[in-house]
Amino acid sequence: MKSNLSKIKYGLIEKEINIKFINDLYIIFLKLWINLNCLFFNKPKIKNIYLNLNKIKILLDPKNGFIDRFIYAKKNWDETNTEIIKKNLKKKQCFIDVGSNIGYFSLIASNIVGKNGKVISIEPIKKLYLQNQINKEINSFNNIKIYNLGCSNKNEEKNIYKREDYLASSSTNKNYLSNYSFFKYSFFKKIFEKKKIKFKSEKIKLIKLDNIINHKVSFIKIDVEGHEYYSLLGMKKILKKYSPKLIIEINQYALRKDSIKKIFSYLKKLNYEIYFNYNLKKEINFKDIEKIIKAEVVDIFCINKKQKMGNN
């Protein structure tokens, strides 16, 4: 009670409420804007994406949900991480896309590394894997190899749970999928997410990345909806031997208890510096972990101390 009183005294509770309210308003306007721009997006379509004069074709399917619809409306995706990859990946290098979805970042990386480079794209959901294959073919990117697998700390089969309206949020954590919402307030959730969330399970194969990679790796992007820690454990040999740069989405909703601290501790032991992707000048310390917990979903950029940003 005392801590709450001090929060009231210094206006922190009001500040937290304002941030949540602004978040929900932003989500409402974003959804409306996307819906307006996607009025005639009712079947799969190929769109041209232009990034620094590099033309990329991408097959989008409205049934996949938010990512495909956002790219259709805005003609890009995740500009911050796209810029980080463009600045830190070079020709002839190897990029691994763990949780590649429809392959957006794999296509970006393929363009950067060129015909003498490699892109390994890993996507466990069959539908997205097949969409990945089509996106590779329509761009004639022969340097991409796509695996219909997931990454973990051991080789096994497991169920992944898929939201029918948002395939990108698919997770092995069923509770996360049932409870997740873009909105902070239940009032907005009831209005804008009236439908009961439907999801299906799909049996997927999980592997240790160390078991299929035996060459130098320069950059790894990880977006696995709560399976981050286990994926990192399964690539320990790669991280120790090659010290690749990393972009990791950390999803507090989907993570198991204490996983954030485990992720940070694990990466620190491997000599990595960790940054928020929106501030590459200030290294994150353990005190900042609370910010991640409050933010719920953040992306971090990790670079081994042996390297410098923008260099090999």
One domain, residues 77 and 33: no
**Is residue 112 one of the residues assigned to a domain?**
yes
The one-letter code for the residue type at 33 is W
Whether the predicted pLDDT of 37 surpasses 90: no
The one-letter code for the residue type at 171 is S
CA atoms of 122 and 115, how far apart (whole Å): 19
Whether the predicted pLDDT of 44 surpasses 70: yes
- Of 171, 206, 301, the closest CA to residue 245 belongs to 301
Instruction: Locate 41 and state its tokens.
Output: 């997006």
What's the average model confidence in pLDDT over 287-291?
70
**Is residue 160 one of the residues assigned to a domain?**
yes
- Of 301, 267, 65, the closest CA to residue 167 belongs to 65
- Read off the pLDDT band of 45 (50, 70, 90): confident
CA atoms of 255 and 267, how far apart (whole Å): 17
Most confident of 26-30, 52-56, 167-171, 271-275: 271-275
Range of weakest confidence among 23-32, 151-160, 233-242, 268-277: 23-32
Structural domain span for residue 213: 44-304
Residue linked to tokens 């990117």: 141
- Is residue 274 within 8 A of residue 283, CB to CB? The reply is yes
**Is residue 309 one of the residues assigned to a domain?**
no
Most confident of 38-47, 185-194, 240-249: 240-249
**Is residue 310 one of the residues assigned to a domain?**
no
**Is residue 32 one of the residues assigned to a domain?**
yes
Q: What local confidence, expressed as pLDDT, does residue 178 receive?
A: 57
One domain, residues 29 and 140: no
Whether the predicted pLDDT of 33 surpasses 90: no
Going across the sheet that includes 297-304, the strands are 144-147, 118-122, 94-98, 219-222, 245-251, 297-304, 272-276, 279-283
What's the CATH code of the domain at 280?
3.40.50.150
Total domain count for the chain? 2
One domain, residues 13 and 61: no
- Read off the pLDDT band of 52 (50, 70, 90): low
Whether the predicted pLDDT of 186 surpasses 80: no
One domain, residues 23 and 75: no
One domain, residues 181 and 245: yes
What's the average model confidence in pLDDT over 171-183?
60
Q: What is the DSSP letter of 43?
A: S
One domain, residues 294 and 159: yes
What's the average model confidence in pLDDT over 154-169?
79
Cα 72–chain centre separation: 18
- Is residue 221 within 8 A of residue 98, CB to CB? The reply is yes
Q: How high is the mean pLDDT of the chain?
A: 82
pTM of the predicted structure, to 2 decimals: 0.84
Q: Which of the two residues, 100 and 177, has the higher pLDDT score?
A: 100
One domain, residues 196 and 79: yes
One domain, residues 261 and 231: yes
CA atoms of 162 and 38, how far apart (whole Å): 23
- List Cβ<8 Å contacts ≥24 apart for 287-290: 289/260, 289/261, 289/264
Dihedral class, residue 140 (left if φ above 0, else alpha if ψ from -120 to 50, else beta): left
Instruction: Locate 32 and state its tokens.
Output: 């409306």
One domain, residues 162 and 290: yes
CA atoms of 214 and 241, how far apart (whole Å): 10
Whether the predicted pLDDT of 133 surpasses 60: yes
Q: What local confidence, expressed as pLDDT, does residue 11 receive?
A: 41
One domain, residues 224 and 167: yes
What's the average model confidence in pLDDT over 253-277?
85
Q: How many residues does the chain have?
A: 312
Whether the predicted pLDDT of 50 surpasses 70: no
One domain, residues 197 and 291: yes
**Is residue 96 one of the residues assigned to a domain?**
yes
One domain, residues 81 and 211: yes
SS3 assignment, position 54: strand
Ordered alpha helix ranges (H), 114-258: 126-139, 174-179, 186-192, 228-233, 236-242
**Is residue 188 one of the residues assigned to a domain?**
yes
